[in-house]
């Protein structure tokens, strides 16, 4: 009797082809959230901020939107702390037991995720959009933080707006949203009033988090920025660089509706025992 053929074993494709070791002490020194057993105010604040976002992503919020697991973090103007917020939101979600998170640096003109987290960026989003033959795994970066993956901005390009508005970008957003059911995608976007890229990216996301710098951003600027967004999206706010202590009842109310609120304190306040 003929020997049956050996079964074909297919290798599972790797999610990434690059891995980095983030310096957690460097991250902590910057006031960023570090995944450890210490209790801190910043961890508690981001728990309040992320919870309604995760509820919406799971389809359990007050509003149902397409690609609710694609969350764009932006601001009206530069310098309000959007990258700090995007990084901390992603790090907080990475601590979830049943979620993975991908942090995308889509501020392709002034990328700062790599600088903030302290790693060499390498090829990324722009390179993938330019090269139709590039595999996504070539630009994704695994980290030493479980469930936390990065997509750097990549090379500078004079047609960045057109690339972000391209069909390739739309397909990529859909793939990132649907490839893994447990994935939350945090997109660090340019400021809405500074470039045209932000409003293009906003059309791809199901949820938008607007970072507002306490005591500096004018209401008219926030209203002007909101006018660039789709009113059917879920839009929330993080009041950033708040001085003083906010009571626990001061965060997170109405976040599931058209407008919502979350708060965190000044960037200088770091983790405490």
- Which structural domain range is residue 179 located in? 42-265
Regarding beta strands 234-242 and 261-265, do their DSSP bridges make them parallel or antiparallel, or are they unpaired? Answer: parallel
Task: Specify the DSSP class assigned to residue 10.
Answer: P
Question: 10 in a domain, yes or no?
Answer: no
Report the CATH number that the domain containing residue 239 is assigned in CATH. Answer: 3.40.50.300
Question: 21 in a domain, yes or no?
Answer: no
Question: 171 in a domain, yes or no?
Answer: yes
Question: 20 in a domain, yes or no?
Answer: no
Question: 175 in a domain, yes or no?
Answer: yes
**DSSP secondary structure string, 30-89?**
TT----SS---HHHHHHHHHHHHHHHHHTT-SSS--TTTTEEEEEESSTTSSHHHHHHHH
CB 204 within 8 A of CB 170: yes
- Cβ neighbours around 245 below 10 Å, total: 9
The number of distinct structural domains making up the chain is: 1
Least confident of 94-98, 103-107, 149-153: 94-98
**What is this structure's pTM?**
0.83
Question: 188 in a domain, yes or no?
Answer: yes
Question: 28 in a domain, yes or no?
Answer: no
Could you report the per-residue pLDDT of 183-208, keeping only the tens digit for each? 999 999 999 999 888 999 999 999 99
Residue 227 forms beta bridges with which residues? Answer: none
Q: 23 CB contacts (<8 Å, ≥6 apart)?
A: 118
Could you report the per-residue pLDDT of 141-182, keeping only the tens digit for each? 999 998 999 999 999 899 988 999 999 999 999 999 988 889
Question: 2 in a domain, yes or no?
Answer: no
Least confident of 51-55, 182-186, 190-194, 229-233: 229-233
Q: How far is CA 62 from CA 21, 70, 169, 255, in A?
A: 39, 17, 28, 9
């Amino acid at each position: 009797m003929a020997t049956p053929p050996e079964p074909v074993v297919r290798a599972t494709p790797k999610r990434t082809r690059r891995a980095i070791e983030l310096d957690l002490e460097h991250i902590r020194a910057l006031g960023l959230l570090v995944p450890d057993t210490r209790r801190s105010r910043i961890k508690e604040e981001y728990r309040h901020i992320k919870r309604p976002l995760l509820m919406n992503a799971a389809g359990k919020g007050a509003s149902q939107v397409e690609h609710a697991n694609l969350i764009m973090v932006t601001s009206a103007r530069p310098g309000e702390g959007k990258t700090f917020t995007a990084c901390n939101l992603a790090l907080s979600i990475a601590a979830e037991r049943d979620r993975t998170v991908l942090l995308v640096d889509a501020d392709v003109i002034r990328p700062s995720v790599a600088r903030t987290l302290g790693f060499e960026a390498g090829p990324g989003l722009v390179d993938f959009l330019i090269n139709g033959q590039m595999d996504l795994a070539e630009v994704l970066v695994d980290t030493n933080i479980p469930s936390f993956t990065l997509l750097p901005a990549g090379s500078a390009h004079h047609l960045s707006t057109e690339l972000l508005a391209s069909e390739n970008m739309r397909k990529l957003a859909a793939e990132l949203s649907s490839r893994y059911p447990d994935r939350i995608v945090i997109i660090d976007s340019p400021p809405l009033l500074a470039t045209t890229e932000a409003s293009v990216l906003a059309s791809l996301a199901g949820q938008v988090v607007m970072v507002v710098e306490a005591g500096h951003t004018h209401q008219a600027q926030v209203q002007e920025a909101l006018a660039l967004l789709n009113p059917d999206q879920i839009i929330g706010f993080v009041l950033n660089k708040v001085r003083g202590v906010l009571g626990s009842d001061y965060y997170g109310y109405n976040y599931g509706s058209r407008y919502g609120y979350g708060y965190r304190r000044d960037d200088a306040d770091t983790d405490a025992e």
